[in-house]
């Protein structure tokens, strides 16, 4: 696994070149890519920019709106072969998206069938371009309780959906926050293999709040409170030889108020503390 930077995930505004330069300056091994930004900058120029800064491309967000009506989905899926071709040309082979843990319209089974079909359509296109799709389960009970019908919110449940999609290139976006708030444990992680995980987020949770009362967009930097056992989380990933990006996503409002360099410095320091406590190589 390698430390990856996504400036948007820490509240820092940066264009493509700025994000790459910040990642390289502070010793990250990779950073995420916005496909539209790369297209504007130029595909060969983007590849050269990453190479010149010795950075890997971490991942990109799914450029299809699958949460709305069928017409909106079909409009997006028509454009996906073009985006997948751009990602392949860039050499970025990991795509991610998050899945709401409930629905007001569909029962569990109805939502499962709907998303299985839509993600299968996406995954088949991606498979032709050597791209894997990572699905993020969303754990907090405070969010699940807002929906009429509960949907998948656990690691095991999302693996079942990935398997049902059946294309062989769908796995997890594994977020330490959602692993914790969903009641996950390290034995769960150690039963995984590298093939199960497409991408990883790390963070911490505010102290003094019961797990089921945690609110999704109120988090903390990795190792800030120790509520989430991040060293054990990272050790488990290291033990199963996970080889992909690990990105901080803290939803910490204070970071967005800082100068970009100061914010990235704090993120780097928090991640290094996690790596050191887990006794894994940076």
> Tell me: the pLDDT tens digits for 132-160?
999 999 999 999 999 999 999 999 999 99
- In this model, does residue 256 exceed pLDDT 90? no
Check residue 253 and give its pLDDT. Answer: 85
Range of the domain at 20: 2-278
Please tell me whether residue 248 adopts helix, strand or coil conformation.
Answer: strand
Check residue 282 and give its pLDDT. Answer: 86
Average pLDDT estimate for 79-90:
98
Give the chain's domain count. Answer: 1
User: Across the chain, what does the average pLDDT equal?
Assistant: 97
Closest-CA residue to 219 (of 177, 190, 180): 177
Find out whether 270 and 278 touch, Cβ atoms under 8 Å: no
Residue 171: count of CB within 10 angstroms of its CB:
25
pTM to 2 decimal places: 0.97
Check residue 4 and give its pLDDT. Answer: 98
Please tell me whether residue 37 adopts helix, strand or coil conformation.
Answer: helix
- In this model, does residue 21 exceed pLDDT 90? yes
Average pLDDT estimate for 104-120:
98
- In this model, does residue 254 exceed pLDDT 90? no
Check residue 61 and give its pLDDT. Answer: 98
Q: Tens digit of pLDDT for each residue in 44-68?
A: 999 999 999 999 999 999 999 999 9
In this structure, what CATH number is given to the domain that contains residue 166? Answer: 3.20.20.150
């Amino acid at each position: 696994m390698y430390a990856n930077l996504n400036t948007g995930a820490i509240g820092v505004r940066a264009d493509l070149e700025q994000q790459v330069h910040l990642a390289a300056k502070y010793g990250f091994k990779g950073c995420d890519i916005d496909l539209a930004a790369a297209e504007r900058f130029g595909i060969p120029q983007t590849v050269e920019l990453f190479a010149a800064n010795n950075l890997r491309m971490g991942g990109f967000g799914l450029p299809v709106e699958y949460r709305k009506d069928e017409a909106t989905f079909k409009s997006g899926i028509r454009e996906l072969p073009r985006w997948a071709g751009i990602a392949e040309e860039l050499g970025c082979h990991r795509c991610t998206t998050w899945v709401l843990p409930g629905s007001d319209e569909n029962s569990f089974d109805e939502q499962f069938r709907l998303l299985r079909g839509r993600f299968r359509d996406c995954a088949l296109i991606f498979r032709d371009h050597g791209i894997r799709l990572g699905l993020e389960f969303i754990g907090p009970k405070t969010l699940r309780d807002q929906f009429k019908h509960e949907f998948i919110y656990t690691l095991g449940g999302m693996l079942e959906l990935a398997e049902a999609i059946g294309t062989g290139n769908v796995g997890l976006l594994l977020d330490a926050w959602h692993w914790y708030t969903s009641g996950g444990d390290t034995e769960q992680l150690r039963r995984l293999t590298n093939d199960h995980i497409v991408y990883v987020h790390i963070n911490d949770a505010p102290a003094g709040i019961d797990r089921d009362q945690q609110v999704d967009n109120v988090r903390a930097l990795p190792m800030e409170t120790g509520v989430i056992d991040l060293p054990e989380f990272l050790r488990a990933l290291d033990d199963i030889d996970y080889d992909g990006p690990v990105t901080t996503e803290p939803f910490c409002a204070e970071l967005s108020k800082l100068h970009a360099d100061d914010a990235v410095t704090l993120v780097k320091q928090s991640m290094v503390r996690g790596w050191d406590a887990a006794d894994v190589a940076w």
